[in-house]
Amino acid sequence: MSAQHDPNCVFCKIVAGQIPSRKVYEDEDLFVFHDIHPWAPVHFLMVPKVHIPSMAQVGPEHERLMGRLLTLAPKLALEQGCNPYPEGGFRIVCNTGQEGGQEVHHLHVHVIGGPRPWAKG
Ligand code: AMP
Ligand code: ZN
């Protein structure tokens, strides 16, 4: 693996296919898969394939990557069963650092939605 990946990182392992996941979407830069402990009828995670630990490490070199990630989110949300805006919608969450509630230190965006009630949130 190149320096762009962390051999001890669970999401790098998912991207590499070394840990199984339920894949939603993949392209050259992004990997998207269902959260293993969903809070809601729809709950998937969007990650860059390169290992960026969190939003705290994002810089100008990531503008295109992060722009693509965020602009893809609404399309995948609808495809995965979120209802249309405004009655439906979804929540985008990006926990950053310990005080931000981040548990897995590979940048990931949660996309959460679907009919309520939700288990959490
Ligand atoms: P956080 O770092 O707090 O934003 O959340 C990490 C998320 O990753 C949690 O919602 C976990 O359920 C999820 N998660 C951890 N391991 C896996 C895995 N192997 N496959 C899918 N989701 C996972
Ligand atoms: Zn990683």
What tens digit of pLDDT does each residue of 25-82 get? 999 999 999 999 999 999 999 999 999 999 999 999 999 999 999 999 999 999 999 9
Q: What is the pTM of this model?
A: 0.97
Residue whose pair of structure tokens reads 């548990």 in the numeric block: 103
* 118 inside domain: no
Ligand closest to CA 1: 2
Asked if residue 1 is part of any domain, the answer here is no
Quick check: is 95 in a domain?
Answer: yes
Which residues face 46 on adjacent strands?
32, 109
In a domain, 119, yes or no: no
Q: Is 121 within the bounds of a domain? A: no
The two three-digit tokens of residue 42, written as one number? 């729809």
14: tokens are: 């998912």
For the CA of 15, the nearest ligand = 2
Count structural domains, the chain.
Answer: 1
Q: What is the mean pLDDT of the chain?
A: 97
- Whether 105 is catalytic is no
Phi and psi, residue 38, nearest 5°: -65, 145
The whole-angstrom separation of Cα 22 and Cα 86 is 28
Q: Is residue 5 domain-resident?
A: no
C-alpha 105 – ligand 2 centre gap (Å): 7
Domain of residue 43, residue span: 10-113
Q: Is residue 55 part of a domain?
A: yes
